[in-house]
């Protein structure tokens, strides 16, 4: 979970939540809610601020032990827009399933 990773990195740097909030320009309560797993879908923009402050990449923050996720600027903006327009994780997974289905269908033809 991203909140666990943020807390781990924050503590490794010897920062309090207040210090991380001040340095990253993200509210203390929002960081706390991410770390405690209450806020499960923080924006990419917020995560970029936090990851920069914690001297890590956004990719490492999101998937430190898993397959690396590569998010360049060309992906971040459309993803942020989709989230702002209400796209849910479930809808995104449905879309990925649909794309996979279409690719398999084209491959079989």
- In the chain, where are the structural domains located? 1-70, 72-109
pLDDT tens readout for residues 98-107: 888 888 888 7
Closest CA to 6 of 29, 31, 43, 27: 31
Tell whether the model's pLDDT for residue 64 goes beyond 70.
Answer: no
Position 71 confidence tier, pLDDT thresholds 50, 70, 90: low
Out of 3.40.640.10, 3.40.50.300, 3.30.70.20, 1.10.260.40, which CATH number does the structure's domain 1-70 have?
1.10.260.40
**pTM assigned to the model:** 0.60
Q: Which residues contact 92 (CB under 8 A, 6 or more apart)?
A: 82
């Amino acid at each position: 979970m991203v909140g666990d990773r943020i807390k781990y990195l924050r503590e490794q740097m010897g920062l309090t939540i207040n210090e991380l909030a001040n340095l990253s320009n993200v509210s203390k309560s929002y960081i706390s809610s991410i770390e405690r797993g209450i806020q499960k879908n923080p924006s990419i923009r917020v995560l970029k601020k936090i990851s920069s402050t914690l001297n890590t990449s956004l990719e490492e923050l999101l998937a430190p032990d898993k397959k690396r996720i590569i998010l360049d600027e060309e992906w971040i903006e459309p993803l942020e827009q989709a989230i702002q327009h209400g796209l849910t994780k479930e809808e995104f997974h449905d879309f990925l399933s649909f794309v996979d289905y279409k690719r398999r269908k084209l491959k079989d033809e």
